Chains A and B, each alone.
Chain A
Amino acid sequence: MNLSISLTVNGARRDVELEDPRVTLLDLLRERLQLTGTKKGCDRGQCGACTVLVDGRRINSCLALAISHDGADVLTIEGVARGDQLHPLQAAFIAHDGFQCGFCTPGQIMSALGLIREGQAGDDPERVREGMSGNLCRCGAYSGITDAVLEVQKSLVEANQRRSA
Protein backbone atom coordinates (compact mmCIF):
# COMPACT_ATOMS: atom_id res chain seq x y z
CA MET A 1 0.00 0.00 0.00
CA ASN A 2 1.40 3.37 -1.00
CA LEU A 3 1.03 5.64 2.00
CA SER A 4 3.03 8.64 0.87
CA ILE A 5 1.18 11.93 0.72
CA SER A 6 1.86 15.52 -0.29
CA LEU A 7 0.42 18.50 1.53
CA THR A 8 0.83 22.22 1.24
CA VAL A 9 1.36 23.40 4.79
CA ASN A 10 1.53 27.14 5.43
CA GLY A 11 2.40 27.67 1.78
CA ALA A 12 5.20 25.10 1.56
CA ARG A 13 4.92 21.70 -0.07
CA ARG A 14 5.58 18.83 2.32
CA ASP A 15 5.98 15.22 1.20
CA VAL A 16 5.43 12.72 3.98
CA GLU A 17 5.84 8.96 4.01
CA LEU A 18 3.25 7.54 6.41
CA GLU A 19 4.17 4.34 8.19
CA ASP A 20 0.54 3.69 9.11
CA PRO A 21 -2.87 4.77 7.74
CA ARG A 22 -4.06 5.62 11.28
CA VAL A 23 -2.07 8.87 11.46
CA THR A 24 -4.37 11.84 11.90
CA LEU A 25 -3.68 15.20 10.34
CA LEU A 26 -3.13 16.51 13.88
CA ASP A 27 -0.46 13.92 14.69
CA LEU A 28 1.18 14.44 11.32
CA LEU A 29 1.47 18.18 11.93
CA ARG A 30 2.79 17.78 15.47
CA GLU A 31 4.92 14.65 15.28
CA ARG A 32 6.18 14.58 11.71
CA LEU A 33 6.35 18.24 10.77
CA GLN A 34 7.14 19.55 14.26
CA LEU A 35 4.35 22.10 13.98
CA THR A 36 3.33 21.87 17.61
CA GLY A 37 1.30 25.07 17.66
CA THR A 38 -1.78 23.00 16.79
CA LYS A 39 -2.79 21.46 20.11
CA LYS A 40 -4.10 18.04 21.04
CA GLY A 41 -6.80 18.55 23.67
CA CYS A 42 -9.46 15.87 23.71
CA ASP A 43 -8.37 14.17 20.45
CA ARG A 44 -12.06 13.33 19.92
CA GLY A 45 -13.52 16.38 18.19
CA GLN A 46 -15.02 17.92 21.30
CA CYS A 47 -12.69 20.76 22.28
CA GLY A 48 -11.50 22.47 19.08
CA ALA A 49 -7.86 22.88 20.21
CA CYS A 50 -6.71 21.10 17.03
CA THR A 51 -8.57 23.41 14.64
CA VAL A 52 -6.76 24.15 11.36
CA LEU A 53 -7.92 25.38 7.97
CA VAL A 54 -7.97 22.72 5.25
CA ASP A 55 -8.55 24.16 1.79
CA GLY A 56 -9.67 27.35 3.52
CA ARG A 57 -12.21 25.73 5.87
CA ARG A 58 -11.85 25.13 9.60
CA ILE A 59 -11.95 21.50 10.69
CA ASN A 60 -10.88 19.42 13.68
CA SER A 61 -7.55 17.93 12.60
CA CYS A 62 -7.88 15.17 15.22
CA LEU A 63 -10.82 13.67 13.30
CA ALA A 64 -9.12 13.84 9.90
CA LEU A 65 -7.01 10.96 8.61
CA ALA A 66 -3.89 12.41 7.04
CA ILE A 67 -3.99 9.93 4.18
CA SER A 68 -7.50 10.98 3.27
CA HIS A 69 -6.27 14.57 2.87
CA ASP A 70 -3.51 13.90 0.34
CA GLY A 71 -3.04 17.06 -1.73
CA ALA A 72 -4.77 19.36 0.75
CA ASP A 73 -3.77 22.95 1.49
CA VAL A 74 -3.37 23.28 5.26
CA LEU A 75 -3.03 26.48 7.26
CA THR A 76 -1.94 26.22 10.90
CA ILE A 77 -1.31 28.81 13.59
CA GLU A 78 2.38 28.90 12.55
CA GLY A 79 1.32 30.25 9.16
CA VAL A 80 -0.86 33.20 10.11
CA ALA A 81 1.69 35.86 11.16
CA ARG A 82 3.83 37.69 8.60
CA GLY A 83 7.31 37.35 10.03
CA ASP A 84 7.32 39.31 13.27
CA GLN A 85 4.05 41.02 12.42
CA LEU A 86 1.19 39.36 14.23
CA HIS A 87 -2.01 38.49 12.42
CA PRO A 88 -4.75 40.96 13.46
CA LEU A 89 -6.52 38.15 15.32
CA GLN A 90 -3.37 37.35 17.31
CA ALA A 91 -2.98 41.02 18.22
CA ALA A 92 -6.66 41.30 19.15
CA PHE A 93 -6.50 38.24 21.41
CA ILE A 94 -3.64 39.94 23.30
CA ALA A 95 -5.40 43.31 23.41
CA HIS A 96 -8.65 41.79 24.73
CA ASP A 97 -7.18 39.22 27.14
CA GLY A 98 -8.63 36.47 24.96
CA PHE A 99 -6.71 33.79 26.84
CA GLN A 100 -5.19 32.87 30.16
CA CYS A 101 -3.21 29.61 29.93
CA GLY A 102 -3.11 29.81 26.13
CA PHE A 103 -3.58 26.12 25.35
CA CYS A 104 -6.81 26.57 23.40
CA THR A 105 -5.63 29.80 21.75
CA PRO A 106 -4.19 28.43 18.48
CA GLY A 107 -7.44 26.55 17.90
CA GLN A 108 -9.48 29.60 18.87
CA ILE A 109 -7.58 31.80 16.43
CA MET A 110 -7.79 29.31 13.57
CA SER A 111 -11.49 28.85 14.25
CA ALA A 112 -12.01 32.63 14.31
CA LEU A 113 -10.18 32.89 11.00
CA GLY A 114 -12.53 30.26 9.57
CA LEU A 115 -15.54 32.01 11.06
CA ILE A 116 -14.62 35.34 9.48
CA ARG A 117 -14.02 33.68 6.09
CA GLU A 118 -17.40 31.95 6.29
CA GLY A 119 -18.99 35.38 6.57
CA GLN A 120 -22.08 34.22 8.47
CA ALA A 121 -21.61 35.87 11.87
CA GLY A 122 -21.02 39.51 10.94
CA ASP A 123 -20.93 41.89 13.90
CA ASP A 124 -23.56 40.03 15.93
CA PRO A 125 -21.97 38.87 19.24
CA GLU A 126 -24.58 36.11 19.53
CA ARG A 127 -23.67 34.71 16.11
CA VAL A 128 -19.95 34.97 16.93
CA ARG A 129 -20.42 33.04 20.18
CA GLU A 130 -22.52 30.43 18.42
CA GLY A 131 -19.99 30.17 15.58
CA MET A 132 -17.15 29.71 18.08
CA SER A 133 -18.96 27.12 20.21
CA GLY A 134 -16.75 24.34 18.87
CA ASN A 135 -13.78 25.80 20.77
CA LEU A 136 -13.73 25.27 24.50
CA CYS A 137 -11.71 27.51 26.83
CA ARG A 138 -11.46 26.07 30.31
CA CYS A 139 -9.92 29.30 31.63
CA GLY A 140 -13.18 30.94 30.63
CA ALA A 141 -11.77 33.71 28.44
CA TYR A 142 -14.87 33.65 26.24
CA SER A 143 -15.75 37.28 26.77
CA GLY A 144 -12.33 38.46 25.57
CA ILE A 145 -12.37 35.97 22.70
CA THR A 146 -15.71 37.30 21.47
CA ASP A 147 -14.49 40.90 21.76
CA ALA A 148 -11.31 40.07 19.84
CA VAL A 149 -13.21 38.37 17.01
CA LEU A 150 -15.71 41.23 16.79
CA GLU A 151 -12.92 43.82 16.66
CA VAL A 152 -11.13 42.06 13.81
CA GLN A 153 -14.40 41.54 11.96
CA LYS A 154 -15.11 45.27 12.30
CA SER A 155 -11.64 46.33 11.15
CA LEU A 156 -11.90 44.03 8.14
CA VAL A 157 -15.22 45.57 7.14
CA GLU A 158 -13.75 49.06 7.52
CA ALA A 159 -10.65 48.11 5.51
CA ASN A 160 -12.87 46.70 2.75
CA GLN A 161 -14.94 49.89 2.74
CA ARG A 162 -11.78 51.98 2.42
CA ARG A 163 -10.59 49.82 -0.46
CA SER A 164 -13.88 50.07 -2.32
CA ALA A 165 -14.29 53.81 -1.59
Chain B
Amino acid sequence: MKTFDYIRPASIAEAVAAATEPGAAYLAGGTNLLDLMKGGITRPNRLVDVSRLPGLDRIERLPDGGVRIGALVRNADLAHDPDFARFYPAIAEALLSGASAQLRNAATVGGNLLQRTRCGYFYDVASACNKREPGAGCDARDGENRLHAVLGWSEACIATHPSDFCVPLVALDAVVEIEGGAGRREVAVEALHCLPGDTPARESALEPGDLIVALRLPGDARAFSTHQRYLKVRERTSYAFAIVSAAAALRIEQGTIREARLALGGVAAKPWRARAAEDSLQGARPGPDAYRRAAEAALTGAKPSGDNQFKIELAQRILVRALTLAAAGTPERVAALPASPFSALSGALIDA
Protein backbone atom coordinates (compact mmCIF):
# COMPACT_ATOMS: atom_id res chain seq x y z
CA MET B 1 0.00 0.00 0.00
CA LYS B 2 1.26 3.44 -0.95
CA THR B 3 1.54 5.81 1.99
CA PHE B 4 -0.82 8.74 2.40
CA ASP B 5 -1.62 11.70 4.58
CA TYR B 6 -4.38 11.04 7.06
CA ILE B 7 -6.84 13.80 7.89
CA ARG B 8 -9.81 13.63 10.21
CA PRO B 9 -11.97 16.71 9.59
CA ALA B 10 -14.36 17.98 12.26
CA SER B 11 -17.10 19.15 9.93
CA ILE B 12 -18.60 18.44 6.52
CA ALA B 13 -17.23 21.74 5.20
CA GLU B 14 -13.71 20.84 6.35
CA ALA B 15 -14.08 17.41 4.80
CA VAL B 16 -15.15 18.77 1.43
CA ALA B 17 -12.30 21.30 1.42
CA ALA B 18 -9.75 18.60 2.29
CA ALA B 19 -11.06 16.12 -0.28
CA THR B 20 -11.22 18.56 -3.19
CA GLU B 21 -7.42 18.29 -3.58
CA PRO B 22 -6.31 15.95 -6.38
CA GLY B 23 -5.44 12.48 -5.11
CA ALA B 24 -7.69 12.69 -2.05
CA ALA B 25 -10.21 10.00 -1.12
CA TYR B 26 -12.85 9.75 1.57
CA LEU B 27 -12.57 6.95 4.14
CA ALA B 28 -15.66 5.73 6.01
CA GLY B 29 -16.05 2.00 6.74
CA GLY B 30 -13.03 1.25 4.58
CA THR B 31 -14.23 -2.22 3.60
CA ASN B 32 -13.81 -1.61 -0.12
CA LEU B 33 -11.26 1.22 -0.10
CA LEU B 34 -8.65 -0.54 2.05
CA ASP B 35 -8.92 -3.65 -0.08
CA LEU B 36 -8.36 -1.54 -3.21
CA MET B 37 -5.43 0.26 -1.59
CA LYS B 38 -3.79 -3.00 -0.51
CA GLY B 39 -3.98 -4.22 -4.10
CA GLY B 40 -2.54 -0.99 -5.49
CA ILE B 41 -5.71 -0.42 -7.52
CA THR B 42 -6.49 2.84 -5.74
CA ARG B 43 -3.52 4.93 -4.64
CA PRO B 44 -4.73 8.04 -2.80
CA ASN B 45 -2.26 10.63 -1.55
CA ARG B 46 -4.60 11.71 1.17
CA LEU B 47 -7.32 9.95 3.14
CA VAL B 48 -10.04 12.15 4.55
CA ASP B 49 -11.59 10.12 7.36
CA VAL B 50 -15.26 11.06 7.55
CA SER B 51 -16.24 8.17 9.82
CA ARG B 52 -16.75 10.45 12.83
CA LEU B 53 -18.44 13.41 11.22
CA PRO B 54 -21.31 14.36 13.50
CA GLY B 55 -24.95 13.92 12.56
CA LEU B 56 -24.54 11.48 9.68
CA ASP B 57 -25.39 8.29 11.55
CA ARG B 58 -29.11 8.81 12.04
CA ILE B 59 -32.21 7.26 10.49
CA GLU B 60 -34.99 9.89 10.49
CA ARG B 61 -38.64 9.72 9.52
CA LEU B 62 -39.69 12.48 7.14
CA PRO B 63 -42.99 14.39 7.13
CA ASP B 64 -44.05 12.72 3.84
CA GLY B 65 -43.70 9.30 5.48
CA GLY B 66 -40.34 8.69 3.84
CA VAL B 67 -37.01 8.16 5.53
CA ARG B 68 -33.68 9.97 5.54
CA ILE B 69 -30.66 7.81 6.21
CA GLY B 70 -27.36 9.40 7.18
CA ALA B 71 -24.48 8.34 4.95
CA LEU B 72 -22.59 6.86 7.92
CA VAL B 73 -25.37 4.50 9.03
CA ARG B 74 -23.91 1.00 8.93
CA ASN B 75 -25.45 -1.51 6.55
CA ALA B 76 -26.33 -3.90 9.40
CA ASP B 77 -27.98 -1.15 11.46
CA LEU B 78 -30.17 -0.06 8.58
CA ALA B 79 -31.20 -3.61 7.68
CA HIS B 80 -32.18 -4.35 11.29
CA ASP B 81 -33.97 -1.07 11.97
CA PRO B 82 -37.54 -2.35 12.58
CA ASP B 83 -39.35 0.57 10.95
CA PHE B 84 -37.09 0.59 7.95
CA ALA B 85 -37.36 -3.16 7.46
CA ARG B 86 -41.15 -2.97 7.69
CA PHE B 87 -41.60 -0.18 5.14
CA TYR B 88 -38.75 -1.08 2.79
CA PRO B 89 -38.37 -4.87 3.20
CA ALA B 90 -36.70 -5.56 -0.16
CA ILE B 91 -33.99 -3.05 0.70
CA ALA B 92 -33.40 -4.72 4.07
CA GLU B 93 -33.26 -8.10 2.34
CA ALA B 94 -30.81 -6.79 -0.26
CA LEU B 95 -28.56 -5.40 2.47
CA LEU B 96 -28.59 -8.71 4.34
CA SER B 97 -27.80 -10.65 1.18
CA GLY B 98 -24.59 -8.67 0.66
CA ALA B 99 -21.11 -9.45 1.99
CA SER B 100 -20.73 -10.96 5.48
CA ALA B 101 -21.95 -9.95 8.91
CA GLN B 102 -18.52 -8.49 9.74
CA LEU B 103 -18.50 -6.36 6.60
CA ARG B 104 -22.11 -5.24 7.08
CA ASN B 105 -21.16 -4.05 10.58
CA ALA B 106 -18.41 -1.83 9.17
CA ALA B 107 -19.68 -0.80 5.73
CA THR B 108 -21.66 2.42 5.45
CA VAL B 109 -24.66 3.41 3.35
CA GLY B 110 -22.69 6.10 1.50
CA GLY B 111 -19.76 3.80 0.85
CA ASN B 112 -21.97 1.03 -0.46
CA LEU B 113 -23.35 3.36 -3.13
CA LEU B 114 -19.83 4.18 -4.26
CA GLN B 115 -18.23 0.74 -4.13
CA ARG B 116 -16.17 -0.22 -7.14
CA THR B 117 -16.73 -3.04 -9.60
CA ARG B 118 -15.38 -6.49 -8.77
CA CYS B 119 -14.24 -7.11 -12.36
CA GLY B 120 -11.12 -9.28 -11.96
CA TYR B 121 -9.23 -7.27 -14.55
CA PHE B 122 -9.92 -4.03 -12.71
CA TYR B 123 -8.50 -5.66 -9.57
CA ASP B 124 -5.44 -7.15 -11.30
CA VAL B 125 -3.00 -4.29 -11.82
CA ALA B 126 -1.06 -6.38 -14.35
CA SER B 127 -4.13 -6.41 -16.65
CA ALA B 128 -5.28 -3.70 -19.03
CA CYS B 129 -8.27 -1.80 -17.68
CA ASN B 130 -9.73 1.41 -19.07
CA LYS B 131 -11.45 2.08 -15.78
CA ARG B 132 -8.23 1.94 -13.78
CA GLU B 133 -6.03 3.46 -16.48
CA PRO B 134 -7.90 5.32 -19.23
CA GLY B 135 -6.76 4.26 -22.69
CA ALA B 136 -5.04 1.08 -21.50
CA GLY B 137 -7.58 -1.25 -23.11
CA CYS B 138 -9.85 -3.89 -21.62
CA ASP B 139 -8.52 -7.38 -20.97
CA ALA B 140 -11.98 -8.51 -19.88
CA ARG B 141 -13.24 -8.31 -23.49
CA ASP B 142 -11.28 -11.45 -24.43
CA GLY B 143 -10.87 -12.80 -20.94
CA GLU B 144 -12.91 -14.62 -18.31
CA ASN B 145 -16.10 -12.67 -18.80
CA ARG B 146 -19.03 -14.93 -18.05
CA LEU B 147 -20.07 -12.66 -15.14
CA HIS B 148 -19.77 -9.37 -17.02
CA ALA B 149 -22.40 -6.94 -18.29
CA VAL B 150 -25.17 -7.70 -20.77
CA LEU B 151 -26.77 -4.25 -20.73
CA GLY B 152 -25.32 -0.78 -21.24
CA TRP B 153 -21.75 -1.93 -21.80
CA SER B 154 -19.28 -0.51 -24.32
CA GLU B 155 -16.17 -1.73 -26.12
CA ALA B 156 -14.20 0.20 -23.52
CA CYS B 157 -15.66 -1.54 -20.45
CA ILE B 158 -17.94 -4.48 -19.65
CA ALA B 159 -17.76 -4.32 -15.85
CA THR B 160 -20.84 -4.54 -13.62
CA HIS B 161 -21.85 -2.59 -10.54
CA PRO B 162 -21.67 -4.96 -7.56
CA SER B 163 -24.09 -3.42 -5.05
CA ASP B 164 -27.18 -5.32 -3.91
CA PHE B 165 -28.45 -2.37 -1.88
CA CYS B 166 -28.60 -0.08 -4.94
CA VAL B 167 -30.96 -2.37 -6.87
CA PRO B 168 -34.12 -1.88 -4.76
CA LEU B 169 -33.00 1.72 -4.13
CA VAL B 170 -33.31 2.63 -7.81
CA ALA B 171 -36.58 0.71 -8.05
CA LEU B 172 -38.04 2.79 -5.21
CA ASP B 173 -36.79 6.19 -6.43
CA ALA B 174 -34.18 6.80 -3.73
CA VAL B 175 -32.29 10.09 -3.81
CA VAL B 176 -28.86 11.02 -2.46
CA GLU B 177 -28.00 14.33 -0.83
CA ILE B 178 -24.54 15.52 -1.82
CA GLU B 179 -22.43 18.20 -0.20
CA GLY B 180 -19.85 19.77 -2.48
CA GLY B 181 -17.85 22.91 -3.09
CA ALA B 182 -20.95 24.62 -4.51
CA GLY B 183 -23.23 23.62 -1.65
CA ARG B 184 -25.81 20.89 -1.33
CA ARG B 185 -27.60 19.16 -4.20
CA GLU B 186 -29.68 16.07 -4.80
CA VAL B 187 -29.28 13.31 -7.34
CA ALA B 188 -31.52 10.31 -7.91
CA VAL B 189 -29.66 7.06 -7.22
CA GLU B 190 -30.71 6.06 -10.72
CA ALA B 191 -28.66 8.98 -12.08
CA LEU B 192 -25.74 8.59 -9.68
CA HIS B 193 -23.88 5.87 -11.57
CA CYS B 194 -22.66 6.26 -15.16
CA LEU B 195 -22.63 3.80 -18.01
CA PRO B 196 -19.10 3.35 -19.36
CA GLY B 197 -19.33 4.74 -22.91
CA ASP B 198 -15.88 5.97 -23.89
CA THR B 199 -15.06 7.12 -20.36
CA PRO B 200 -15.38 4.12 -18.02
CA ALA B 201 -13.11 5.79 -15.46
CA ARG B 202 -15.93 8.20 -14.76
CA GLU B 203 -18.23 6.10 -12.62
CA SER B 204 -20.57 8.56 -10.98
CA ALA B 205 -22.07 12.02 -11.12
CA LEU B 206 -19.86 13.12 -8.23
CA GLU B 207 -17.27 15.86 -8.68
CA PRO B 208 -13.97 16.04 -6.74
CA GLY B 209 -14.72 16.76 -3.09
CA ASP B 210 -18.38 15.77 -3.34
CA LEU B 211 -19.55 13.91 -0.24
CA ILE B 212 -22.74 11.88 -0.03
CA VAL B 213 -24.26 12.94 3.29
CA ALA B 214 -27.63 11.19 3.19
CA LEU B 215 -29.92 8.89 1.30
CA ARG B 216 -33.67 9.53 1.11
CA LEU B 217 -36.55 7.27 0.28
CA PRO B 218 -39.86 8.89 -0.61
CA GLY B 219 -42.95 8.20 1.47
CA ASP B 220 -44.94 7.00 -1.54
CA ALA B 221 -42.52 4.06 -1.91
CA ARG B 222 -44.16 2.66 1.22
CA ALA B 223 -47.22 1.83 -0.90
CA PHE B 224 -45.19 -1.15 -2.14
CA SER B 225 -44.16 -2.47 1.26
CA THR B 226 -46.54 -5.44 1.34
CA HIS B 227 -45.49 -6.78 -2.08
CA GLN B 228 -41.77 -6.57 -2.60
CA ARG B 229 -38.77 -8.88 -2.79
CA TYR B 230 -35.12 -8.91 -3.70
CA LEU B 231 -33.74 -12.07 -5.26
CA LYS B 232 -30.11 -12.81 -6.03
CA VAL B 233 -28.35 -15.69 -7.76
CA ARG B 234 -24.82 -16.31 -6.54
CA GLU B 235 -22.16 -18.90 -7.23
CA ARG B 236 -22.38 -19.98 -3.59
CA THR B 237 -25.20 -19.74 -1.08
CA SER B 238 -23.86 -16.82 0.92
CA TYR B 239 -21.11 -14.20 0.96
CA ALA B 240 -20.86 -13.71 -2.79
CA PHE B 241 -21.67 -11.01 -5.30
CA ALA B 242 -24.67 -11.39 -7.57
CA ILE B 243 -24.41 -13.09 -10.93
CA VAL B 244 -27.83 -11.56 -11.50
CA SER B 245 -30.27 -10.04 -9.03
CA ALA B 246 -33.69 -8.44 -9.20
CA ALA B 247 -35.85 -6.19 -7.05
CA ALA B 248 -39.59 -6.34 -7.65
CA ALA B 249 -42.21 -4.19 -5.93
CA LEU B 250 -45.90 -4.22 -6.72
CA ARG B 251 -48.97 -2.23 -5.78
CA ILE B 252 -51.86 -4.62 -6.19
CA GLU B 253 -55.50 -3.53 -5.82
CA GLN B 254 -58.51 -5.78 -6.37
CA GLY B 255 -56.47 -8.42 -8.13
CA THR B 256 -54.85 -5.98 -10.54
CA ILE B 257 -51.31 -4.59 -10.62
CA ARG B 258 -51.74 -0.82 -10.32
CA GLU B 259 -48.05 -0.04 -10.33
CA ALA B 260 -44.81 -2.02 -10.57
CA ARG B 261 -41.20 -1.18 -9.78
CA LEU B 262 -38.41 -3.34 -11.17
CA ALA B 263 -34.64 -3.19 -11.21
CA LEU B 264 -31.83 -5.58 -12.02
CA GLY B 265 -28.38 -5.99 -10.49
CA GLY B 266 -25.25 -7.65 -11.86
CA VAL B 267 -26.17 -6.90 -15.47
CA ALA B 268 -24.68 -3.44 -16.10
CA ALA B 269 -22.27 -0.80 -14.81
CA LYS B 270 -25.18 0.67 -12.87
CA PRO B 271 -28.22 -0.71 -11.06
CA TRP B 272 -30.66 -1.17 -13.95
CA ARG B 273 -34.17 0.23 -13.63
CA ALA B 274 -36.55 -1.57 -15.99
CA ARG B 275 -39.18 1.05 -16.78
CA ALA B 276 -40.58 -0.55 -19.93
CA ALA B 277 -41.17 -3.72 -17.93
CA GLU B 278 -42.88 -1.72 -15.20
CA ASP B 279 -45.20 -0.14 -17.76
CA SER B 280 -46.08 -3.53 -19.24
CA LEU B 281 -47.36 -4.66 -15.83
CA GLN B 282 -49.57 -1.68 -15.16
CA GLY B 283 -53.19 -2.83 -15.18
CA ALA B 284 -52.22 -6.48 -15.70
CA ARG B 285 -53.47 -9.39 -13.65
CA PRO B 286 -50.66 -10.94 -11.60
CA GLY B 287 -49.50 -14.18 -13.21
CA PRO B 288 -46.76 -15.95 -15.15
CA ASP B 289 -47.74 -14.57 -18.56
CA ALA B 290 -47.58 -10.95 -17.41
CA TYR B 291 -44.32 -11.60 -15.55
CA ARG B 292 -42.68 -13.23 -18.54
CA ARG B 293 -43.72 -10.37 -20.82
CA ALA B 294 -42.31 -7.89 -18.32
CA ALA B 295 -39.06 -9.85 -18.05
CA GLU B 296 -38.67 -9.87 -21.83
CA ALA B 297 -39.26 -6.12 -21.90
CA ALA B 298 -36.65 -5.63 -19.17
CA LEU B 299 -33.97 -7.36 -21.18
CA THR B 300 -34.78 -5.68 -24.49
CA GLY B 301 -31.50 -4.58 -26.02
CA ALA B 302 -29.42 -6.95 -23.90
CA LYS B 303 -26.50 -8.56 -25.65
CA PRO B 304 -23.65 -10.71 -24.37
CA SER B 305 -20.28 -9.02 -23.84
CA GLY B 306 -18.50 -12.37 -23.79
CA ASP B 307 -19.31 -15.84 -22.46
CA ASN B 308 -22.39 -14.51 -20.72
CA GLN B 309 -25.31 -15.07 -23.06
CA PHE B 310 -26.82 -17.16 -20.23
CA LYS B 311 -27.23 -14.08 -18.05
CA ILE B 312 -29.91 -12.69 -20.37
CA GLU B 313 -32.21 -15.67 -19.85
CA LEU B 314 -31.17 -15.99 -16.19
CA ALA B 315 -32.09 -12.34 -15.55
CA GLN B 316 -35.53 -12.91 -17.07
CA ARG B 317 -36.16 -15.99 -14.95
CA ILE B 318 -35.00 -14.19 -11.80
CA LEU B 319 -37.32 -11.30 -12.60
CA VAL B 320 -40.23 -13.71 -13.04
CA ARG B 321 -39.36 -15.38 -9.73
CA ALA B 322 -38.99 -12.03 -7.96
CA LEU B 323 -42.37 -10.89 -9.30
CA THR B 324 -43.99 -14.16 -8.27
CA LEU B 325 -42.61 -13.82 -4.74
CA ALA B 326 -43.53 -10.13 -4.52
CA ALA B 327 -47.11 -10.86 -5.60
CA ALA B 328 -47.33 -13.60 -2.97
CA GLY B 329 -46.60 -10.96 -0.34
CA THR B 330 -43.65 -9.74 1.70
CA PRO B 331 -42.74 -12.38 4.30
CA GLU B 332 -43.10 -11.51 8.00
CA ARG B 333 -39.37 -11.77 8.44
CA VAL B 334 -36.40 -11.79 6.07
CA ALA B 335 -35.69 -15.38 5.02
CA ALA B 336 -32.92 -17.31 6.78
CA LEU B 337 -30.94 -17.10 3.54
CA PRO B 338 -31.71 -13.53 2.46
CA ALA B 339 -32.55 -13.14 -1.24
CA SER B 340 -31.56 -16.72 -2.00
CA PRO B 341 -33.64 -18.69 -4.49
CA PHE B 342 -32.54 -21.87 -2.72
CA SER B 343 -33.25 -23.42 0.63
CA ALA B 344 -30.89 -25.57 2.66
CA LEU B 345 -32.64 -28.68 1.39
CA SER B 346 -30.68 -29.80 -1.61
CA GLY B 347 -32.54 -29.02 -4.81
CA ALA B 348 -35.49 -27.40 -3.05
CA LEU B 349 -36.62 -23.90 -3.92
CA ILE B 350 -37.47 -21.48 -1.18
CA ASP B 351 -40.86 -19.74 -1.16
CA ALA B 352 -41.61 -20.97 -4.66
Q: Which residues of A contact B (CB under 8 A)?
A: 1, 3, 20-22, 24, 43-45, 48, 51, 57-60, 62-65, 67-68, 111, 114-115, 118, 120, 124-127, 129-135
Contacts and interface: CB of A to CB of B under 8 A. Distances in A.
B30 A58 contact: no
A22 B3 contact: yes
Contacts of A124: 336
B185 interface: no
Contacts of B49: 65, 67-68
13 contacts: A21-B47, A22-B1, A24-B34, A59-B106, A60-B106, A63-B31, A63-B35, A68-B8, A68-B49, A114-B105, A133-B100, A133-B237, A134-B103
A64 B30 contact: yes
Contacts of A134: 99-103, 239
Contact of A130 (B6, B8, B27, B337): B337
B344 interface: yes
A60 B31 contact: yes
A155 to B, nearest CB: 21
Contacts, number: 98
A22 B3 CA distance: 7
B204 to A, nearest CB: 22
A20 B102 CA distance: 25
Given A1-B5, A126-B344, A134-B239, 5 more contacts: A21-B3, A22-B1, A43-B38, A45-B103, A59-B105
Given A1-B5, A126-B344, A133-B100, A45 B35 contact: yes
Interface string B1-44: 10111101000000000000000000100110011001100000
B70 interface: no
B51 interface: yes
Interface string B327-352: 00000000011100000100000000
Contacts of A118: 76, 80, 101
B50 to A, nearest CB: 10
Given A48-B100, A48-B102, A130-B336, A63 B238 contact: no
A68 B30 contact: yes
Contacts of B35: 44-45, 63
A111 B102 CA distance: 8
A1 B4 CA distance: 11
